[in-house]
Amino acid sequence: MRIGAPVVASTIKNGMSGGMPAFGGQLTDAQIQQVIAYLLTLTRKDSGTVTGDAAKGKVVYDASGCASCHIIDGQGGDSGPELTKVGALRGPGYLKTTLLYPGSDLPQARVFLETGGLLDYMFIDLVTNEGKTYDGTRVVEDSFHIVIRDAKGNFHSFPKSDLREFKKEPGKSVMPSFKDTLSGAQIDDLVAYLASLKGAQ
């Protein structure tokens, strides 16, 4: 059964007879929205069917440098999301779209705001007052500071007052597109491999 966010909010607020208590007195409306926003991040993004060959896809994965940024079963770099269980969390359609157009459906960062919103995944370009340039994904931000993580996985922390330029690029991913570097068959094989990753359990 699919239920909408308002119903979930009402359920959290008012409880359900025979079990779930009402949290209306303990959680503010904004906090309830935060809970819902978090629940939405757990949703499996599911679409499409596997058409490729998972064994061939593993070869493509190993040859394309994916492991420099992604971990599978403890192996690889950690600047991108871990993929050990990605097949359980993401359907083939989503995986294929992400390989072709990495910025098309970026996750929200788990930075909760009192209003109930979430900060988006965000690519940041910045230039310090001394003229040094940096780019990477936003790790955390407040009104006075920004911490980004570059493509190598290194953290860089800046007071905003030390920045000459500070540019947010919504919809831009640090991951390259494989649209022009892999063939259609290779993409399908890679999708098949990723979709097969369901974790040890």
Partner 1 sequence: MKTFPYAAALGAWMLVSPAYFLAQNVPYDRILHSANEPQSWLTYSGSYNSQQYSPLKQINRENISKLKVAWIYQPSKAVSNLEASPIVADGVMYITEPPSTVTALDVRTGLRLWTWSPTLPEHVVSIGLYATSRGVAILGDSVFIGTADSHLVALDAKNGAVRWDVHVADNAMGYAMTGPPLALKDKIIIGSAGSEAAVRGFLDAYDPKTGKRLWRFWTTPRPGEPGAETWGAGAYESAGATTWNNGSYDPDLNLVYWGTGNPAPDFNDDERPGDNLYTCSVVALDADTGKLKWYFQFSPHENHDWDSDEPPVLFNASIDGKPRKLLGFANRNGFYYVLDRTNGKFIAGKAFVKETWAKGLDENGRPIPAPNQEPTLGAGTLVYPSITGGVDWTSPSYSPDTGLFYVSVHETGAYFIKGTGKIESGPPKGIVGGGGIRALAGEQSYGAIRALVATTGERKWEFKMLAPAWVPVLSTAGGLVFSGTDEANFFALDASTGKPLWEFFMGHSARSNPISYEVDGKQYIFVTAGDTYLAFSLP
Please give the residue ranges that form the binding site for partner 1 (CB under 8 A): 4-6, 9-10, 13-15, 22, 24-26, 28-30, 32-33, 37, 108, 111, 113-120, 122, 141-145, 161, 168, 170
* Residue 2 or 201 with smaller CB distance to partner 1: 2
* Residue 65 or 170 with smaller CB distance to partner 1: 170
Looking at the DSSP bridge assignments, the partners of residue 166 are: 126
The C-alpha atoms of residue 41 and residue 122 are separated, in whole angstroms, by 16
Q: Is 8 exposed, middle or buried (0-12, 13-18, 19+ CB in 10 A)?
A: middle
* Residue 63 or 113 with smaller CB distance to partner 1: 113
Q: In the complex, what is the shortest distance from the CB of residue 79 to partner 1, in angstroms, rounded to a whole number?
A: 22
**Enclosing H/E stretch for 124:** strand 123-128
The C-alpha atoms of residue 63 and residue 2 are separated, in whole angstroms, by 40
158, 145 in Cβ contact below 8 A? yes
Q: In the complex, what is the shortest distance from the CB of residue 194 to partner 1, in angstroms, rounded to a whole number?
A: 27
Q: In the complex, what is the shortest distance from the CB of residue 94 to partner 1, in angstroms, rounded to a whole number?
A: 19
* Residue 112 or 178 with smaller CB distance to partner 1: 112
